[in-house]
């Protein structure tokens, strides 16, 4: 008799994570669902802001058009893990939502990177080229970044202050 569990385990084994995610400091993120990767990214940013003594506020509703208010700036936060080609794909960026800046968090096997831009700069292409996620719609976009286009998390406070100054 065929053992369905064994067959499924064999199939799953053919989809194992890329070896670059094995035995590395941040490899555990690859076992999370995409939703939980995003939640973990937001929770990390919250705790990082608190550690950096930056003002943080969560929206009152899960239906809020923004994910966090940092130093009185509303941010859309997108988190991605490094893909097999060494890039980050930040998905579901929406222009119709009411936020002031986009913050992207890139998780590589052994480092945490980020960048942030004013919303207007994103839509003017200053953050890079946005690609539509749906050929029949212009509601949601993807931004692909190389690690060299992101900043070390140690530069976070300076970047947030730079954006705050540009929006003042």
DSSP 112-124: EEEEEEEHHHHHT
Question: Which stretches of the chain drop beneath a pLDDT of 70?
Answer: 1-2
CB atoms inside a 10 Å sphere around CB 142: 16
Does the pTM surpass 0.75? The reply is yes
Q: What is the pLDDT of residue 96?
A: 86
- Pairing relationship of beta strands 112-118 and 68-70 according to DSSP bridges: unpaired
Percent of the chain whose predicted confidence (pLDDT) is above 70: 98
- pLDDT score of 113: 98
- For residue 1, the model assigns a pLDDT of 56
Contact in structure between 159 and 151 (CB atoms under 8 Å): yes
Calculate the CA 120 to chain-centre distance: 19
Q: What is the pLDDT of residue 85?
A: 95
3-state secondary structure of 94: coil
Residue 36 structure tokens? 């939980």
Q: Please answer whether residues 164 and 73 qualify as being in contact, where contact means their C-beta atoms are separated by less than 8 angstroms.
A: yes
Q: How many whole angstroms separate alpha carbon 48 and alpha carbon 56?
A: 10
Strands laid side by side in the 88-93 sheet: 88-93, 141-145, 130-132
pLDDT for residue 58: 92
What CA–CA distances, in Å, run from 58 to 43, 65, 81, 147, 167? 10, 11, 23, 28, 20
pLDDT value of residue 95: 86
């Amino acid at each position: 008799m065929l053992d369905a569990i064994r067959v499924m385990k064999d199939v799953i084994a053919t989809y194992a994570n890329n070896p670059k995610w094995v035995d590395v400091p941040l490899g555990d993120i690859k076992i999370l669902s995409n939703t939980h990767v995003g939640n973990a990214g937001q929770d990390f940013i919250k705790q990082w802001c608190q550690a950096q003594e930056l003002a943080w506020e969560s929206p009152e509703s899960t239906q809020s058009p923004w994910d966090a208010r940092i130093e009185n700036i509303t941010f859309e936060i997108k988190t991605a893990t490094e893909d097999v080609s060494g890039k980050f794909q930040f998905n579901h960026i929406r222009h119709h939502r009411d936020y002031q800046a986009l913050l992207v968090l890139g998780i590589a096997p052994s480092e945490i990177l980020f960048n942030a831009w004013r919303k207007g700069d994103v839509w003017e292409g200053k953050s890079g080229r946005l690609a539509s996620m749906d050929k029949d719609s212009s509601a949601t976009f993807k931004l692909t970044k190389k690690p060299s286009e992101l900043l070390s998390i140690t530069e976070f406070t300076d970047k947030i202050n730079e954006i705050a100054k540009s929006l003042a």
